[in-house]
Chain A
């Protein structure tokens, strides 16, 4: 069907191409290795611009991930700062076996876990529990489908209506998306930010949050479904039921 034009992300194509992806932990962009090497070399030389670059690139994501492990923002900020210091202190030992990004987030996870244990907080199991909870939430309100007493059970009763071309990326729509994401439970919010805003691969997200591939997908699916519903309420208020 012509309307069903799927754009598959590049890492999906890599996977289909014989599963090379599984052995390459972390960043899959072909250029990542060279880009990382250059950044690492500059960091070792004490180039402040290089440090600024990685701080700007990963700073907020680090904070978001840290918040999955420790109880409050102040503690998360401390963990992030400890992480950056550990990154600098360890940069001479970085061997490039994983991407720089994966390495940084692994340091963060270790620091955050140590901190979380001190707070006797059993995270990031919270993300695992949150995935279970998310899985039990329907993506679309059940009232929008026919019931078992109908001739077409479980088919759309109140189907979605196509959105106006080009409007989904209007400033208003983007604001709706941002608000919907902000309102999500922590685990869903972090996963959709990492996957769909920052463009991480499923593997990178699963590794950084120490959850399974299935868990990150459940959280992402729930988050995306909530965002789609928010857009639908905006574009088709007559269809959306809640």
Chain B
């Protein structure tokens, strides 16, 4: 078959996981990715770990603004409000 690319190697797959998860792949590349995954337990584990990593990162608390900086900003707000 013309244009059929060789199968994806594991070492290549690990470089394109984010593109896959972002849906930023051509249909053809996605199929190639999924074809590899469906026959490779190791890469299935790898992608699952990336997915777990992303989910867990989502549970990390966002940093909060420094209270002094916040107070300063509220002062800016009050001045703006008075001048309005």
Contact = CB atoms under 8 A, between A and B. Distances in A.
A89 B11 contact: no
Given A153-B9, A156-B10, A168 B56 contact: yes
A195 to B, nearest CB: 9
B70 interface: yes
Given A89-B80, A145-B10, A156 B64 contact: no
Contacts of B60: 174, 177-178, 181, 197
Q: Which label, helix, strand, loop or mixed, suits the secondary structure of the B interface?
A: helix
Nearest to A144: B11
Interface in A198-233: 198-199, 202, 213, 217, 220-221, 224-225, 227-228, 231-232
Interface residues of A, number: 62
B55 interface: yes
Contacts of A7: 51, 55
Interface in B39-60: 42-60
Report, as a range, how many residues of chain B touch the other chain: 35 or more
A142 interface: yes
A133 to B, nearest CB: 15
Nearest to A153: B9
Nearest to B16: A221
Interface of B: 9-12, 14-15, 17-19, 21-24, 37-38, 42-60, 62-65, 69-70, 72-74, 76-78, 80-81, 84
